[in-house]
Amino acid sequence: MQEFLFSYGTLQKEKVQLESFGRILKGTKDTLKGYKLFFLEIKDETVLSKSEQKFHPIAVHTNNLDDAIEGIIFEITESELFIADTYEVDEYARVSEFFESGKVAWIYVAKKV
């Protein structure tokens, strides 16, 4: 089954894609309104070795349509979606959202506290 996953951060890196999914992902640019990016310090060694980046962006829901995040909606399989779940650290939650293009896709956002 085909899934759509929006990435605004390290999942766009070829190294992360190759090490996580064994291939380069195909996707299209899109925008998500009502969210803003902040940065999260990553301490998980496995994630750090793939991303080579200590601080990862994290999307926070603002309800303000003037806030927007640009990224890429990738076409992936259901099993690849579960692989992406294991890549993201505990501070992220996967939710489904509507994008500017009209597409619906999964996105990893900050967990509600």
Domain annotation for the chain: domains and CATH numbers: 2-110 (3.10.490.10)
Mean pLDDT, rounded, for 100-113: 92
pLDDT at 98 over 80: yes
What is the b/e burial string over 62-80, where b = at least 16 CB atoms within 10 angstroms of the residue's CB? Answer: eeeeebebebbbbebeeeb
The residue with tokens 């890429």 is 72
Mean pLDDT, rounded, for 74-96: 94
Quote the pLDDT of residue 49: 85
- Predicted confidence band of residue 92 (pLDDT cuts 50, 70, 90): very high
